[in-house]
Structure 1
Amino acid sequence: MNIKSRIALHLIMWLVLVGLILFVLAGFTLYWTLEEISKVQSSRQFESVGLQRLIQTIEVEGEDVHFDPELLEKVRDSGGWLQRIDEKGYVTDAFFTPPEVPSYYGPGQLTAYWLRKSPFPYQLSLWIQEKDGVVHTLLYGMTNRDDDFLQQVIEEAEQKNNEIMLPPSIQNQLKRKAGWVQLLDSKGAELASFNKPAKAIKDFSVEELALRSIYPDRYGATIVSHYDQKSGQTWVLSYPLPGTTPGEEPLLKPESKALFIGMGMLLLSAMLVFGIVSYFFGQRFGAPIVHVLRWLTFLRGGKYEEPANADGVPLSQDKRGKRKRKYRIYQDVIDSMDSLSQTLNRNEKLRHETEQLRNEWIAGVSHDLKTPLSSVKGYAHLLGNAEYTWTTEEVHTFAKIILDKSAYMEDLINDLALTYRLRNGQGAPTVELVDLNVCTAEAITEAAKHPLYPEGCIQFTPSAEPVYMLVYKPWFQRIVDNLVANALIHNESGTIVSISVQAVESSTAVLIFSDNGSGMDEETADRLFERYYRGTDTESRTEGSGLGMVITKALVEAFGGSIEVKTAVGQGTTISIAWEAEQPPRSYIGC
């Protein structure tokens, strides 16, 4: 799965998770809001909504029936009572029931009381509903105490101008409850009042009085009214609801308040969810991006490694070296960054090595050319000095020395260039598959043509079977030339060089150079492949540029091989070269 698919999948998962959380929150908020509105309606009209909620909250355990204690408390607060009746008319459960209330009702008796066709001291409400296969019949009875108190006020009140005069006992009772009384004319205009708040309504329309009587919680006051048919006047008794200011309407109606709180809860919960999700989303998706940006800053500053913690562990990995979960989504990017860091680090090291090699090469050229150039310059000055007269023979001698030094400088420059090329990691131009026996024999024949080598000083022993490897012939010839020269030129005359080819387990080709010369001490052997480890004399130099063994080792390594020296003073020297052998193709016919 590529990075686009992983990011898309993670985004979908996060969105689904957020959607589920918001769905649950919305469901909970809706349930809570409906419950609050139901409570408001039950407190306003307990005879309908309250009885319905009582049946909805009934819990039956065997023959025991349990009611919601909070709803039963509302029954008591309303001054009413509650009975549960079975199908035969017997009361099975009763709460706050006065003694005069029957414990059994006949079918006609209950209907007559309920429809007020028979005298009954209480106003009845009946609710029948089935729940869990059981039919529940609830009977709710109540007396309106405020109606009785208003009737007492009407009987003892006297109107004096725009005031209502009441006995002290009634006044105290009204003031204790912060209630007030108003007398209205036939059009609803106020004629007189007692203890009315300044902000209380003065004139009532038909709709106003009806709505305030049915929905007291909307207007912050309970209203009881009495209409006198003879005079056409209306008496109004008002009490403020708990928690409200007498005469003032609440800012929010109960239903609106419940809805506002519910929406506020949903909004705050959604904001909290989005905040938490945003934080984790940022940690999940943003932290790796910040990590990569910081990594890029490191690369720009020349620090080619991944940012790590105080313990040196890369931030994208745990202590066991495994990728942390939040970084796995950007696995491709981090792997690419790691590969880029390693490449830049290698390139930086290579650049330093190349710079060092270049400086060494320049220093080597400057140093190595200085000595022969001084000789050329000296002889040129001698020839150009008019104070001296040179014979033809002397001029020829000087010219030969200058030519010899020039050839030496040319060889030196070529050897230095080859050394620089090999140390810079440049391989052979082309390679070909050859039989090492054949190519070694050809190289020995070419090397033996040197005029300083006596005849028969080089002996060759091939392997019993062909040994194949990939070589670049000019370089291979240079290896043989250098090793033969090292053995013959730096030893006494009469030294014999024995060269042999061996195959080790058909996977390794070994080329061995052995001589019976004077050998070398340990220091000389250790420094054999260093530059110029020999004395220099511009007048009579040793054959070569002094870079032969350095070049030999570099050429061997360029072919993927290794070189080893075994020697001791007075015991000769053996140099072994090992390469990886190749399997020849079927069409191979020779070198």
Structure 2
Amino acid sequence: MKLSRDIMRFFIIPVVLLVGIIVTAAFTVFYTTTARTSSGKIISSNWPKEFTHDFSEYINIMNGTPTISDTGKNLLVKNDLWIQILDATGKEVCNYDKPSTVSDTYQPYELLNLYQYGVGQYSVFVSSVNAGDTAYSYLIGFPLSISKVVTYVDTDRYNSGKTLIIMIIILTILLILALTVFYNVVISKSYERIRESLGSIASRTYKPVAGHRFLREIYEGLDTLNHDIALADRQREKDTKAREEWLANITHDLKTPLAPIRGYAELLSETNTDIPFERSRKYGAIILKNTLYAEQLVNDLKLTYQLQSNMLPLKKETLNVTRFVKEVVIDILNAPDLEGRNVSFISNSEAATYFFDPLLFRRAVTNIVVNALAHNDTSTEVSISLDADSGVKLTIADNGNGMTPQELDDLFTRYFRGTSTEIKAEGSGLGMAIAKQIVEAHDGVICAESMQGVGTTITIVLP
């Protein structure tokens, strides 16, 4: 299988991290176990101890007096070192290049401190040389800062444990490499599956991945994403279809008033036609009626997009909400085509006030009530109740034909025009959508319940 560049990153990153850890550990060991001489040469931090121990071969004892060979002196000069030879009592018997700050005689504890902490800028190491029954100690000063770290361990266990420690380190590195390879293989396969899933979601051919224990949350998220996209696609198709139907209806409805407007306008514009005054006034009334109908269609379309885009600022006032709703109902019943319809109104408070936009809220209530009257026969009863104790709860119920579940789902959808009777659907198809937008612009909630043969109830709740 050819690995993509992204999958290679899964392999490279942990390998680079592992190499970085090994390099860091090696550098730390090297940095802490080496020292730099005054000449810039890198040496092992154990070198001064070994040098001091081996320097005894350059010390000659003749007639009970220790001397330093020329070779030894050259080594001291070459490495910028000094030496001091002491007898059994701690007194100096010989030295070479010893600094003036170094004492000539020592007590035992002073030798211990000198070895442990050095003197000045020098680290001091101690060894001894024997000549028969006489022993001499010698100190060599190194221009380095080397600490003597002492750890007490069981020698047998330490010697045998070094092999075990090395094996543990090797096994740990191998385990890290094995886990790195294993998880990279798992992650790379999961990555390929996720990438394929994203591609199938984009092409709308996604199938849920089964048995995904590793990265389960990601796969569940992909399932949710695919489900949401599928819902959005269906809603978009539904909206597109509704929009196309609405455009067709609006085009037809606009042509309907334009035809008589044009026809009667042509009659009135003919100069050679003697039209009686009464007929001219009748023609003008028809033109005016159809013009108002066309204007209403355009205004509805403009209003719904203004509300959707928050381009219409609310002009709120504090008004008596009971009186307001009662006046809206009276104005509706005063319309000639709705006169005599059975509409009742009750309220639990006559003095309740509320802060709202009267023009927009009038439009919302009018749309709902007129919709209930227009889509039911003349014997339908419409009851309006207002509860204004806490906020506003306005309920508009009818005992008409009711709606199908599909019609109920589409009730507040823009462009939807439904009817529960055999009559032709009229209006712009935006009335209920506008009512919903107005209620939501007041931070309210509107909901509908309906059952065929029982009726429909619409409830508005304002906070």
CA radius of gyration, larger in: 1
Q: TM-score range by the shorter chain?
A: 0.3 to 0.5
TM-score, normalised relative to structure 1: 0.38
